[in-house]
Structure 1
Amino acid sequence: MIEFLLVLTCFLLAMTVGAAFIYYKRLQEVKEKYLEAKEVVGDIVISFNKELSRQAESMASVSRRAETAYLRSEVLERKLDELEKKLEGLESNLEKFRKQVNEKLAGALEDRKRLEELKDKVRELEELSYHVAVEGDEDIVEPAPAVPIPIRRDKVLSSLTSTELAVLEILAKEGPKTAPQIRDRIKLTREHTARLMKKLYERGFLERDTSKIPYSYRIKEEMLRLLKREERSE
C-alpha cells in the first residue's frame, strides 16, 4: 500500500513537473511573441510619429507659404491700385493729347485751306501783274478796238509775221486760249507773248475776254473767214 502511494506520488510529481515545464515553455513563447509584437508596435508608433512630424512640417510650410502669398497678394493689390491710378492719369493725359492733336490737325487743315486760297490769289495777282506789266495802266474790262481788217487779203497776210500767223492758225483751229497757253505753243517768253497778243488785239485781229484772269483771246470772225478762204484758195 505504501509502495502504491509512493508510486502514485512520484507519478503525480512527474506530471506536475512536466506540466510546469510545458507552462514555462509556453510562457517563454508568449513572452517572445510579446516582445516581437512590442517591437512591431514600437516601429509602427515611431513611423506614425515620423509621419506626424512630416505632416506637421508640411502644414507649417503650407502655412508659411499661405502667409507669404497673402502678404504678396496685399503688395500686388497695392501695386494694382497704384497702376490703376497711373492708368487713369495716362488716360486723362491721352485724352488731352488727343484733343490737342485734333485741334492742331484742324488748325493745320485750316492753314492749308488758307494757303491754297493764298496761292490762288497769288496766282491771280501774278496773272494780273503779268498783263498790267505789259499793257500798262489799261482797265480790266475794256472794249475791243474798232480797228478794221484791211480789205485785201494779200496785204493782211503779208503784214503778219510767221509767228503771228501761227498764233492766228492755233486760235482758228483750237478756239479761245490764254496768253500762257499760246506761250507754251509758240515757245516764246512771257513778255514777248503778251506783246504779241496785245499787238494782234489792237490791230483788230483778235477779241479779248477780260471777265476773268488770265485774259482769253479768240480770233475775230472776219479774220477766221479770211483764213478759211486763203486755205481754200491754196
Structure 2
Amino acid sequence: MPNCIPIIKAVTLKVGSLRQPVITKYQLAKLIFDLLADSDYQGQPLCTRKEFPVQNDFSRVLKELLDTGILTENRNFPSRSVFNIIGKESKSPGEIACIVDPFAYVSHLSAMDYHGLTDRLPKILYLTSLSSLEWSKAANEKMEQDFAIHINEYESSGFPKLQRIKISKIKVVFRILCHSIKLSIKGMTHEKTNQLRHGCGAQGVA
C-alpha cells in the first residue's frame, strides 16, 4: 500500500501527543482500536487491510512499544496495567491516580493542597471514588460512550475492557515523598463524581 504509515508508528505518534505521564492498558487499547478502525492517522492511511483489530494486534503493538522503550511498566500498579510514557514527567500523585481511575477525584486535604488553600504538605493522597457496584456500572457506560456503534466489535476483539486498577502507593519521579493512598468509597453516581473531580487535569484518551 503506497504512502501508508505502519500501525506501530501511528500509535507511537499518537501516544507521544498525549498530555499525560502514564497510560492504562484500557486507554492504550482504545487508542489502538480507534486507529485501526479508522484505518488512518491524520489523513494518512495505515498499512493494514483489516476492518477491525483482533487481540493479537494489541499484544503485538504493546510488545513493540515496551521493547523500544516508548512505554515502560509502572511498578506502582499491578503487572501490565499502567505504563509510563517516555519523555512525560509525572506532575503529581493525584494526576496519576485520576488517570488510572477515571471515576475518582482528589479530596479532603489533598484537594485543598491542589487549589493552594493550605500550607500543609500532605503525605497521604486522599481520593474519593465509586463503590464497586457503581464503578462497574460507570465503566460499562463509559465503554459504550467510547466505542458507540463499534462497541460490539470492540468487545468481540478480545481487547482489554475497562477494569478497576488497584491503587495503593504512587511514587512520583523527582519528588522526595512517596504518597500512600487513602481511598474513600462513596455511594455516589458517576454523574456526581464528574461534578466533584478536583486535581484531575489529565487530558488525552481517558
TM-score w.r.t. the length of structure 1 is: 0.16
Which structure has the highest strand share of the two?
2
Larger Rg: 1
Q: Which structure dedicates a bigger proportion of its chain to helix?
A: 1
